[in-house]
Amino acid sequence: MRDVIIIGGGPAGSTLARLIGKDFNVLLIDKKSSDESKTSFKKPCGGLIAPDAQRALARFQLQIPTDVLANPQIFAVKTIDLQSRLITHYQRFYLNVNRYRFDRWLQSLVGDADIIEDARVTTIKKLNDNYQVTYVKDGIEQVEHARMIVGADGADSIVRKTFFNRKIRQYMAIQQFFNASDIKPLYASLFDHTLTDSYGWGLVKDGELIFGAALPLQNSRKIFEVLKDRSAVHSFDFSNPLNTEACLVNSPRSIREIECGSDHVFLIGEAAGFISPSSLEGISYAMDSALALAQAMKKKNVIKYYKVKCGKIKMKILLKQLKSIVLYTPILRKLVMLSKLDSINLVE
């Protein structure tokens, strides 16, 4: 029997496995395959490493390998309000990466835990003194047992759905890929409050244009097509999509929607609700919550200490909620864009 089974091998799960692998018998179960062309899961994510995520990587003394980086590296964001037709440019310091390779790199740093790739967890049951995890790999159903379960499995977390009833606001993230051979280097964020109270994004990466958005769950695909039509006038060529990806994304309205866990079941990263409600940046929260749980696992009362350690993360999310009020309230966003505060003028 294992000490810990971690479900989900993204930044949260991989970081936790790396931190606790020497002290516990750890199994990490992940949907992704080592073959990028055959993996059954890719997260619809623009693949930009924001300053908060860079800070988290720096705390762990990690340097992103060059083969994880994508081209081009972009130092400005083009903010487009589709309703007011305002366009403002801001300097930003993001790292453009291949998100699949970034996750795989973090997973490659796990040295003292067993990893099962390309596997899908189907059920988790609480028994007398342990938890039974059933998963399917290569079409074969298999079973593992552990004293503790950690859900690092994102917005559609089977761990959260199985053991906790706390609701959290969710969107459907949809993104499509297009040929970008004739498009200038670009990163754009788009706002249209008549379609979504979140935002959309356009990004050139390794010769492709990625266009995506976080949209209401109902009629999300239809809304996505409307957003594409309205965005087409802003240098986007949406002919001949190469690929389409979609998945749920969490965005807590308040810190009361965050679920850390109870008993011997814990949630980290987006599964817990640790994600910015203003930008949907989740990598820094994934790594910070993994560190908090790793530190808590050295204590006798793990869940109590974990919740205490998560206090700082919740306060950070609270501040992001205040920022999101400005960002997603049309009149406030318009005033900020009109003020040109902290904006830059591009030289053609």
Average pLDDT score over the chain: 94
Over range 246-250, report the average pLDDT. 95
In 3D space, the residue among 271, 246, 240, 241 whose CA is nearest the CA of residue 257 turns out to be 271
d(CA 47, CA 97): 5
List the end-to-end C-alpha distance of the chain, in Å, as a whole number: 63
Looking at this protein, which amino acid is placed at residue 256? Answer: R
- For the cut 70, the answer to whether the pLDDT of residue 211 exceeds it is yes
The span from the CA of 252 to the CA of 274, in Å, is 8
Does residue 224 surpass a pLDDT of 90? yes
Please report the domains of the chain, with CATH numbers, ordered by start residue. Answer: 2-332 (3.50.50.60)
Q: At what angle do helices 11-20 and 99-108 cross, to 10 degrees?
A: 10
Q: Is the pLDDT of residue 40 over 60?
A: no
pLDDT digits over 162-196, tens only? 999 999 999 999 999 999 877 777 899 999 999 99
DSSP 68: T
Average pLDDT (286-293) is: 98
Output the pLDDT for position 37: 64
Is the confidence at residue 334, as pLDDT, over 80? yes
Q: Of 33, 31, 24, 32, which Cα lies nearest the Cα of 5?
A: 24
Check: CB of residue 174 under 8 Å from CB of residue 219: no
pLDDT surpassing 70 at residue 42: no
Q: What is the dihedral of CA 168, 158, 14, 282, to 10 degrees?
A: -20
The string of DSSP codes covering 81-121 is ETTTTEEEEEE--PEEB-HHHHHHHHHHT--SSEEE-SEEE
DSSP 327: H
Tell me the whole-structure pTM to 2 decimals.
Answer: 0.95
For residues 12-36, average pLDDT: 93
- As a 3-state breakdown, the chain gives helix, strand, coil percent values, each rounded to 5, of 30, 30, 40
